[in-house]
Amino acid sequence: DIQLTQSPSFLSASVGDRVTITCRASQGISSYLAWYQQKPGKAPKLLIYAASTLQSGVPSRFSGSGSGTEFTLTINSLKPEDFATYYCQQLNSYPSTFGQGTKVEIK
Amino acid sequence: QVQLQESGPGLVKPSETLSLICTVSGASVRSRDYYWTWIRQPPGKGLEWIGYIYYNGGSHYNPSLKSRVTISVDTSENQFSLKLSSVTAADTALYYCARENQGVMFPFFDFWGQGTLVTVSS
């Protein structure tokens, strides 16, 4: 199985901050990577797919980059509604796997 | 508007079989563009992909669960289902159904159900 390691696991930030989350794959996955946001009690919501393509309806302050084994999710100018847990997911090969999550909390 | 809705017992006894159904609206499980997928999330933990079913019955399961999992599709009801046998407390989780969009070069999970909590306990 392809392992995805996110860093950091926990991030404390303020409204207006720029935050970056990294996702590293145990082997190359081209651009078969998606990012999701999950709020407590809710299903994950797709933010980014193909490593850098913004899902329709997702604010442009979210962006993704990377290919191969290293990927980043950046949130520019953090808003109160962005405090949540973020997961990366690889769809290069089955079983599809997820990173362990990064919880973004209010400083 | 695509919607997925999980249903099934919220409590299952150890060694028994967990059975869940996902009802799809706004999309057809007959579509060749999608895989219909189950994912689970133990309380306070991360996401685990369980497997998918394709409209023609083709499927793929997580090797860690493969011996206990069956996913099937009912095109007449526009539903797909999950069966997990010989459950233990480790199978206690929030179970999600989701749609994997395979009609693109780089797939993704674009619609999810709200999730249903299944507790394994006697």
Distance from the first to the final alpha carbon of chain B: 39
DSSP bridge partners of A103: A10, A85
Q: What's the mean pLDDT when you consider all of chain B? A: 97
pLDDT grade, residue A2 (50/70/90)? very high
pLDDT at position A71: 98
pLDDT beyond 90 at B49: yes
> CB distance A91–B100 less than 8 Å?
yes
Q: Compute the distance between CA of residue B45 and CA of residue B122 in angstroms, rounded to an integer.
A: 23
pLDDT beyond 90 at A65: yes
Give contacts of B 50-79 with A, CB under 8 A. 51, 60, 62-64
Phi, psi angle pair for B35, to nearest 5° = -105, 140
Contact (Cβ atoms closer than 8 angstroms) between residue B71 and residue B80: yes
> Each residue of B71-85: pLDDT tens digit?
999 999 999 999 999
Give contacts of B 14-43 with A, CB under 8 A. none
Q: What is the mean pLDDT of residues A37-41?
A: 96
pLDDT at position A107: 87
pLDDT grade, residue B104 (50/70/90)? confident
> CB distance A44–B60 less than 8 Å?
no
Phi, psi angle pair for A45, to nearest 5° = -120, 130
- Nearest to residue B96, comparing CAs of B52, B43, B37? B37
Q: What sign has the CA pseudo-torsion B16, B59, B95, A85?
A: positive
Q: Is A37 on the interface with B (CB under 8 A)?
A: no
pLDDT beyond 90 at A75: yes
Contacts of A43 in chain B (CB under 8 A): 96, 98, 112-115
> Each residue of B14-38: pLDDT tens digit?
999 999 999 999 999 999 999 999 9
pLDDT at position A46: 98
pLDDT at position B103: 81
- Nearest to residue B38, comparing CAs of A42, A96, A92? A96
